[in-house]
Amino acid sequence: MPTDPLRPRVLGHLWSHFTWRHWCHTPWRTVILIGILALGVAVFFSIRLANRAAIAGFQLFSENVTGTSDLVITSPAGKLPVTVLPQIREALGDLPAGLFPVLESTAVLPSDTVAGHGQQTFEMLGVDLAALSNIVYLSGGSEVPLNVRMSPVTAASGPPIYVTRAAAEAHRWRENEDVQLTIDDSIHTLHVAGFLPSSEFSIQAPDRLIVIDLPALQQLTGQTEEIHRVELRIPSGHWESEWRRVARERLEKGSEERWLVETPDQRRESGRMMTQAFRLNLSILSCLALLVGIYLILQALEAAVVRRRPEIATLRALGVSPFAIRRAWQFEALILGLLGTVIGLLLGWALAQLTVRAIAQTVNTLYYSNTTEAAAWHWGEAALASALGILASGVAGWLPARDASLTPPAQMLQRGTRADGLKVLLKPWVGIVFVLLALAAHGAPAWRTAQGGVLPLGGYVAAFFWVAGAGILAGLWFPCIARLGGRLGQRVPELFYAASQLLQATGRHRLATAGLVVAVAMAGGMSILVGSFEQTVQRWLDQVMKADLFIAPQGSGNASSRNRLSEQTWRALIADAAVANAEVSQFHRIRYEGVPVILAGVGFEGALAPESGPIWLEEPESMDPPPGVDEIWGVMSEPFAYRFHHAVGDMIDVPTPTGVLAVRLVGIYADYGNEFGTIAIERETLARAFEDSRAARMAIHLRSGESLTETQERWARSFPGMVISNNRQLREEAVRIFHQTFAVTHGLKWIGILVAIAGLGLALASMLLERSRELATLRALGMTPARTARATAWESLGIALAGLVTGFLLSVVLGHLIVYVINRQAFGWTLLFTLPWQEFLILALGVCAVSGLVGYGIGRRQAASLRTGG
Amino acid sequence: MDATQAVPLLVASQLTKSFGGTPVLRAVDLEIGRGECVALIGPSGSGKSTLLHCLGGLERPDGGSLTFDGQPFAELTDEALADLRRRRLSSIFQFFHLLPTLTAEENIAFPLRLLGLDRQIRESRVNELLEQTKLTSRRAAFPHELSGGEQQRVAIARALIIHPAMILADEPTGNLDSTTGNVILDLIESLTETYETALLLVTHSREATRVCHRTLRMRDGQLDHAD
Ligand SMILES: Nc1ncnc2c1ncn2[C@@H]1O[C@H](COP(=O)(O)OP(=O)(O)O)[C@@H](O)[C@H]1O
Ligand SMILES: [Mg+2]
């Protein structure tokens, strides 16, 4: 490295007298450049913030009851008998600890909408209010999250509840007034006895939290003998951490498989784990936006190098070292990066407020209840996004800086130098190596995290190499396209000229194509994924949704809803004269091998019957054990089989409140309803094991001749706490959820395409700048600006064509990768591969049209602003 | 026919042009007859190129009038001016200005493509000009594979292929050594004679003024006769 004593001074001078003046001279170019980088950073940052907010919703809820509880005692079966309390006491021995049993439930506002979507679900927490007031003593009076002042209830018509001020405001509830809420399948009158504290304490209550006395909630939900968890608080003081350790030890030793002991951190982790794959997919997608941003900056800086080449050559001739020039360019890139990052963070924060709702909605429907409505600023994420943004600008500045420093002193204007741009893109063998690496990565197994999460790393690596390889190989189309253009252009001189440009395509042409390839392939791959998914789900719905009416308690659109149909209700429905037959099903969320899964109870004759049953991947020969074999038989969903590596014939241990149930798995069925995995056993067996005969859903076939709408309306009147949907409504709801899930994906897809087309425009603009003398010649030869613009449009179209053809081929490969490798590894789903032709066609036409227009516009502008030099 | 013969091909009167308040052309009067060869000399920066740009319709003068073949430029749209350049008015430049992605042959034929002429006509004319400029063996070469003299020969062939009424040549030998420059000048002279093309030749070389009928001198934006 040459030591240049004047270096810092030289650098400063280069910045203030050259770079800065160039920026001022072309302010819009600078603004757009910074804007592009800002967009990339913003997309990334907003998705990360929104993801974080969605998780935080879970966190808030799990932490809220006793503030930061020390330990949480739960059961793998999902609930604990109340008798567990003395057992826990016994296990703890003489340790001073407060025990706070919690029963969770959900409630919704009674509504008259039939489908019932978009309903607000309230989280009902049944806690021992008397015991809770003891926390004051336990924590030394410092921190009391639910310091419920129990005002004497006067003439209460229902059990007292405590609500947040926000909820009270939103629903115009007043203190000491009655409200109506649907819990399970019936409407109850409850009395608002007071408000939950909101801002005075370290942890804020989620707006939709309702606190109620434990026995009251047990009564309301008919779960008089049950609780969902016990929170444990150790009194604060000198011995706190020691006691916590001992408590944990003793509880674990004394558990005898009756309970699980976790710290709140561990509980939070499980929420994080549930949505891991979902969030990872979004993060990776948002990274793509940043990647395209890098690519654009690189292109723009390359163009700037070309524009300023005479100046660089002169500086070189005057003795400025290549090293100083290189530094000056890197510095310029860095400043761009810094500015773009700062703006990007602000923009991202604003964008997050928009995306957070979409993401929270999805999490709500698919994973767990979530009360998020705003994304909070997070310094850690901001630091990560900043680091990526500045790193991106550094990477993007590196090549142009090298290019600039390699400019020879003067003497370069002689022969119209066509800059090579990125030389890597001119070497097909590099592309072939990338493709080979991609093929190798295809087979790599998924990486399993300690909490049972699955990251399809091999798939992502393969996707990266495919994209890189295809981006380079896309340039191989240019000769073909040029020859085709040349032939068609015999009578069209503009096309003929454009073809001659493509025949000698530069690195810049290839870079523009590569950008389009990435964007088109990404969009195409996403379309294939969504299309395949939609097709598969549609087929699945056709198979499993044959009944006329579907019944569920209100609020069941929310994944963590605990509302159920009481036995009385579902029996009454079965007995109704209009019903030909009914399938009643129930499910519980349990933990299998420490991971959340769903244990379902279905009627084997009805739900699994060949005509109305699921799509079998491995169909059981029979659902009943042969005589003499005393076993419980069940079937599993595909994600379950995939996640836990279970095969047909395996015996598994299923935790239930009444003890472990040994189940032999005899079949695998397709299930796109959830990704946790489901074990389905006979409903009555489940009811016995859980001592709970309620039902989550009913599917009803009406007798022929019975009017669908009439029955629906009649039941809606007599069972106001239920959502009664007909086949069409439920399907529409399923499709709506489906589209909502992919809403963010679609948004990101279009941002990618937009940025790539901007890149194409930028590339064309810099190519035409390089060619300004050529354009002047064309003008002298009698070509009007309009004709020159048409030539540029053809050229742009040629680049777009190369990008589209490669992009679509690549998208099929990526689609295959996503459907058969990534999706399978992450979710364990088999999808039907579908090529969404119409979407591809629209995409192709759109890209062609916009590319043509961009080319025309830039050509026209350049041609109009020209003079014949020399 | 007689009437048009009598009118000079190009008439410029009282042309003025300034850039940003600085006058570059001050009241230029100029007449060029059909088939006439006129040399234009003058110090660098005196406005020669600017005058040529105005005559070629690439730049519009601020004042004065300009007629080509009896047609006033002021009445022509940019499109009509471009059409004029496609059919009647060619240019040759100091830095050759060939289209780098086209071969010699394609460069020469390009103006005929712009006119939409058939392949056969194109080929016969190109072959004729390749022969006249002694480029037949280099026809498939790209500009960067040609020497300076060869490139300028291609440019001359390209200028003549439309059989223009006039060629505007801006220092065509300025970037060549003197021997090659003289060869080029002779070629321009003989070919413009063959095709009966008028020529306005901006040059620094004394040699050039020899081949022309008339020499004009430009000084501070004004023309005077040098001989
Ligand atoms: N586009 C332009 N903008 C500003 N000034 C110009 C422009 N073109 C030419 N000039 C100025 O006009 C004067 C004459 O230039 P030019 O016609 O190129 O001279 P010559 O060809 O005789 O050397 C010069 O001083 C030049 O700076
Ligand atoms: Mg000049």
B100, B106, B114 member nearest A774 (Cβ): B100
- Average pLDDT on A470-480 reads 90
Which has more confidence, A33 or B151?
A: B151
Which of A415, A490, A504 lies closest to B101 in CB terms?
Answer: A504
pLDDT of residue A126: 83
**Ligand 2: centre distance to CA B93 (Å):** 10
Atom of ligand 1 nearest to the CA of B42: 22
Q: Which residue of A has its CA nearest to B117?
A: A491
Q: Per mean pLDDT, which range of A89-93, A608-612, B47-51 is the poorest?
A: A608-612
Q: Which residue has the higher pLDDT, A420 or A377?
A: A377
A528: left (phi over 0), alpha (psi -120 to 50) or beta: alpha
Which ipTM did the prediction report? 0.83
Rounded percentage of chain A residues whose pLDDT exceeds 70: 79
Query: Closest Cα of chain B to A870: distance in Å?
Result: 7
Give Cα separations from A846 to A471, A622, A809, A841 (angstroms).
20, 53, 18, 8
pLDDT tens-digit series, residues A157-174: 788 888 878 788 888 888
How much of chain B exceeds pLDDT 70, in percent?
Answer: 96
Cα–Cα dist A211/A131, whole Å: 14
- The pLDDT confidence band at residue A64, using thresholds 50, 70 and 90, is very low
Counting ligands in written order, the one closest to the CA of B44 is: 1
The answer to whether the CB atoms of A784 and B78 lie below 8 A apart is yes
| Whether the CB of B19 sits within 6 Å of ligand 1 | yes
pLDDT value, residue A686: 92
Q: Is the CB of B203 under 6 A from ligand 1?
A: no
Asked if residue A450 has pLDDT above 80, the reply is no
Beta-bridge partners for B224:
B217
What per-residue confidence (pLDDT) applies to A358?
66
pLDDT (0 to 100) of residue A712: 87
Residue whose CA is at the smallest distance from ligand 1 atom 6: B19
Please give the distance, rounded to the nearest whole angstrom, from the Cα atom of residue B205 to the centre of ligand 1: 20
Q: What is the pLDDT of residues A423-432, one digit of tens each?
A: 666 788 888 9
How many angstroms separate the alpha carbon of residue B202 from the centre of ligand 2? Answer: 8
Structure-model confidence comparison of residues A77 and A703, the more confident one = A703
Contact A781 B110 (CB under 8 A): yes
A524: which residues sit within 8 A by CB, 6+ positions away? A807, A808, A810, A811, A812, A814, A815, A840, A843
Instruction: Compute, in angstroms, the gap from residue B46 CA to the centroid of ligand 1.
Output: 8
Secondary structure of residue A586 in the 3-state scheme: strand
Highest mean pLDDT among A264-273, A542-551, B38-47: B38-47
Asked if A773 has any chain B CB less than 8 Å from its own CB, the reply is yes
Q: Is A867 in the pocket of ligand 1 (CB under 6 A)?
A: yes
- Minimal C-alpha gap between A767 and chain B (Å): 13
Q: Which of the two residues, A71 and B132, has the higher pLDDT score?
A: B132
- The confidence score (pLDDT) of residue B61 equals 92
A481 lies within 8 A of chain B by CB: no
Give the SS3 label for residue A585.
strand
Chain B interface with A: residues with Cβ < 8 Å: 49, 53, 56, 58-59, 78-79, 82-87, 91, 93-95, 97-102, 106, 110-111, 113-114, 116, 119, 143-144, 158, 170-171
Selected residue with higher pLDDT from B33 and A285: B33
Which run of H or of E encompasses A738? Answer: helix A727-741
The predicted-structure confidence for B3-32, as pLDDT tens digits, reads as follows 455 678 999 999 999 988 899 999 999 999
pLDDT over 60 at A369, yes or no: no
Q: Yes or no: say if A163 and A150 are a contact pair by the CB < 8 Å rule.
A: no
Q: Where are the alpha helices (DSSP H) in A224-321?
A: 240-253, 264-274, 276-307, 309-317
* Nearest atom in ligand 1 to B43's CA: 22
Residue A651 backbone phi and psi in degrees, to 5? -100, 135
pLDDT exceeds cutoff 70 at A599: yes
Give the chain B residue whose CA is nearest to the CA of A502. Answer: B101
Out of B53, B59, B85, the one facing A782 most closely (by C-beta) is: B85
| Per-residue pLDDT at B155 | 93
CB contact under 8 A, B86 and A782: yes
The predicted pLDDT at position B137 comes to: 95
Mean pLDDT in residue range A607-611 = 63
Q: How far is the CA of B47 from the centre of ligand 2 (A)?
A: 7
* Statement: residue A262 has pLDDT above 90: no
Q: For the residues A396-419, what does the mean pLDDT come to?
A: 62
Q: Is the dihedral of CA B123, B129, B131, B135 positive or negative?
A: negative
Give the dihedral of Cα atoms A285, A286, A291, A292; nearest 10 deg: 90
Mean pLDDT computed over A93-100: 81
Burial class (CB in 10 A: 0-12, 13-18, 19+), A572: middle
Q: pTM for the complete prediction?
A: 0.72
In this structure, the number of other CB atoms found within 10 A of the CB of residue A289 comes to: 22
Q: Is the pLDDT of residue A851 over 60?
A: yes
pLDDT band per the 50, 70, 90 thresholds, residue B115? confident
Size of chain B in residues: 227
pLDDT reported for residue A115: 43
Torsion angles phi and psi, residue A52, rounded to 5: -60, -40
What is the distance in A from the centroid of ligand 2 to the CA of B146?
24
Q: Which residues of B touch A779 (CB under 8 A)?
A: 58, 82
Query: Could you read off the pLDDT of A128-160 as tens digits, one per residue?
Result: 777 666 554 444 333 444 444 444 445 557 888
Between residues A103 and B146, which one has the greater pLDDT? Answer: B146
Which ligand 1 atom sits nearest the alpha carbon of residue B47? Answer: 17
Cβ separation of A781 and B53 shorter than 8 Å? no
Q: Is A411 on the interface with B (CB under 8 A)?
A: no
Chain B contact for A493, CB < 8 A? yes
The CA-CA-CA angle for residues A788, A790, A796, to 5°, reads 105
Residue B217 CB–ligand 1 contact under 6 Å: no
- Alpha-carbon distance A624 to A666, whole Å? 10
Structure confidence by residue, pLDDT tens digits, A652-691: 999 888 888 999 999 998 887 777 789 999 999 999 998 8
B209 vs A702: CA distance, rounded Å:
107
pLDDT computed for residue A606 by the predictor? 65
Over residues A412-431, mean pLDDT: 60
Model confidence at A5: pLDDT above 50: no
Cα–Cα nearest to A470, from A800, A819, A811 = A811
Instruction: Report the residue of chain B nearest A779, measured CA to CA.
Output: B82
What does the pLDDT average to over A446-450? 68
| pLDDT, averaged across chain A | 78
Amino acid at A25: H
In this predicted structure, which of A48-57, A463-472, B160-169 has the lowest mean pLDDT?
Answer: A48-57
Q: What is the pLDDT of residues A242-260, one digit of tens each?
A: 888 888 888 888 877 778 8
**Cβ separation of B84 and A497 shorter than 8 Å?**
no
Half-sphere exposure of A683 (CA within 13 A, CB side): 19
CA atoms within a 13 Å half-sphere pointing along the CA-CB vector of A769: 17
Please tell me which residue of chain A has the smallest CA distance to B170: A870
Instruction: Select from B59, B85, B95 the Cβ nearest to the Cβ of A781.
Output: B85
**Residue A368 and residue A60 in contact, taking contact as beta carbons nearer than 8 Å:** no
Backbone angles phi, psi at A256, to 5 degrees: 50, 45
Q: How far B88 CA lies from chain A's nearest CA (Å)?
A: 10
**Spatial distance between the Cα atoms of B94 and B97, rounded to a whole number of angstroms:** 8
**Which pLDDT value is given to residue A808?**
93
pLDDT (mean) for A378-392:
85
**Spacing, Cα A769 to ligand 1 middle (Å):** 21
Does ligand 1 lie within 6 Å of residue B47's CB atom? Answer: yes
Mean pLDDT on A755-783: 81
Q: How far is the CA of B61 from the centre of ligand 1 (A)?
A: 13
Is the pLDDT reported for residue A24 higher than 70?
yes
Q: Count the neighbouring beta carbons within 10 Å of the beta carbon of residue B189.
A: 17
The chain-wide mean pLDDT, for chain B, equals 88
CB contact under 8 A, A780 and B119: no
With a pLDDT cut of 90, the percent of chain A lying above it is 11
Considering only CB atoms, which chain B residues are within 8 Å of A787? 114
Q: What distance in angstroms lies between residue B221's CA and the mean position of ligand 2's atoms?
A: 13
A779: closest CA of chain B, how far (Å): 7
Higher pLDDT, residue B44 or A721: B44
Q: Of A25-34, A832-841, B15-24, where does mean pLDDT reach its minimum?
A: A25-34
User: Best substitution site from B16, B17, B25, B50 to test ligand 1's pocket, by max atoms within 8 Å of Cβ?
Assistant: B50
Q: In A, residues 417-476, which contact B (CB 8 Å cutoff)?
A: 418
User: What is the pLDDT, as a whole number, of residue A152?
Assistant: 47
Q: Which residue has the higher pLDDT, A263 or A484?
A: A484
pLDDT (0 to 100) of residue B164:
94
Q: What is the mean pLDDT of residues A697-713?
A: 86
Which one of B53, B77, B101 makes the best mutation probe of the A interface by having the most chain A beta carbons within 10 Å? B101
CB pairs < 8 Å spanning A and B: 80
Pairing of strands A98-108, A229-233: antiparallel
List CB contacts (< 8 A) between A781 and chain B.
85-86, 91, 110-111, 114, 158
Q: For residues A371 and A61, what is the distance between their CA atoms, to the nearest angstrom?
A: 8
Q: What is the mean pLDDT of residues A479-508?
A: 89
Give the residue on A whose Cα is nearest the Cα of B116.
A491
Q: How close B107 comes to chain A (CA, Å)?
A: 10
Contacts of A83 (CB under 8 A, 6+ apart): A225
Per DSSP, the residues of B67-119 read: EETTEEGGG--HHHHHHHHHHTEEEE-TT----TTS-HHHHHHHHHHHTT--H
Two tokens, residue A810: 């690549």
Give the residue, A544 or A834, on which the prediction is more confident. Answer: A834
Minimal CA separation from A425 to chain B, in Å? 20
